[in-house]
Amino acid sequence: MKNFAPGVWRLKEFPGPAINVYLAEDVLIDAGRRWDRRRIFAEIEGRELSMLALTHVHADHQGVAKDVCEARGIPLACHAGDVDAMEGRRPVAASSHPIARTASWLWQGPPHTVDKTLAEGDEVAGFRVVHAPGHSAGEVIFFRDSDRVAICGDVIRSMSYATGRPMLAEPPDFYNLDSAENRRSIRKLADLNPSLILPGHGPAATDMAAFEHFAAALPA
């Protein structure tokens, strides 16, 4: 695992960070795709876990959730807006676009009961839950006020999906529930004045001036 801040690690992935899974103290944040089972279980071996908390319920973030929760006997948490998707009552795919539907077909894990419903202001492993919808109805940012570290799921990405190279960008429209709402959530992230952003896809964002410029340049 790679350590980014006190008590915060990113699980390894070869060749580089593309589908990110984090550990915050003893809480696993996100659960990759269903075919990430081997690497996730290898990385958490020997570590005590108290909860699995999801930034949002898309196929590349909930894939191994059921396996981890059942194997470790830990509760699953996500925002109220994504509970129905996690429990199988509505589609996990963000839209009916063929790419989004194919990604869900390839990566989606089985449904699982949500034991803890997250809401704005809740605390998870010392991080404050900030509701940041748009990419999904229940997207959240985990924000630690003490050092301004933000684990932001897919509110932004820091890599090109085409080349894998680092870049700051919005999620593609076909992966979003509401792109305009997601832009408002990006501005909400900027208003938190983060010192470090740990996204769901790509390397850590450490240049906050570049992030502020990116957020300010977004269309209304």
Q: What is the CATH number of the domain that holds 142?
A: 3.60.15.10
35 contacts: CB under 8 Å, gap ≥ 6: 63, 107
**Per-residue model confidence (pLDDT) at position 195:** 98
Domain range for residue 166?
A: 2-216
217 contacts: CB under 8 Å, gap ≥ 6: none
**Per-residue model confidence (pLDDT) at position 15:** 84
**Per-residue model confidence (pLDDT) at position 164:** 85
**Per-residue model confidence (pLDDT) at position 62:** 97
Q: For the chain, where are the alpha helices, taking DSSP H only? A: 37-44, 65-72, 83-86, 98-107, 179-191, 208-216
How many domains, in total, are found in the chain?
1
**Per-residue model confidence (pLDDT) at position 95:** 82
The DSSP letter of residue 82 is G
Strands (DSSP E) contained in 56-192 are 76-79, 116-118, 123-124, 127-131, 140-144, 149-153, 157-159, 166-169
Tokens (6 digits) for 152: 């932001």
165 contacts: CB under 8 Å, gap ≥ 6: 159
- In angstroms, what CA-CA distances link 157 with 72, 81, 166, 213? 30, 21, 9, 15
Query: What is the full per-residue pLDDT of the chain (220 aa) written as tens digits?
Result: 999 999 999 999 988 899 999 999 999 999 999 999 999 999 999 999 999 999 999 999 999 999 999 999 999 999 999 999 999 999 998 888 898 889 888 899 999 999 999 999 999 999 999 999 999 999 999 999 999 999 999 999 999 988 889 999 999 999 999 999 999 999 999 999 999 999 999 999 999 999 999 999 998 7
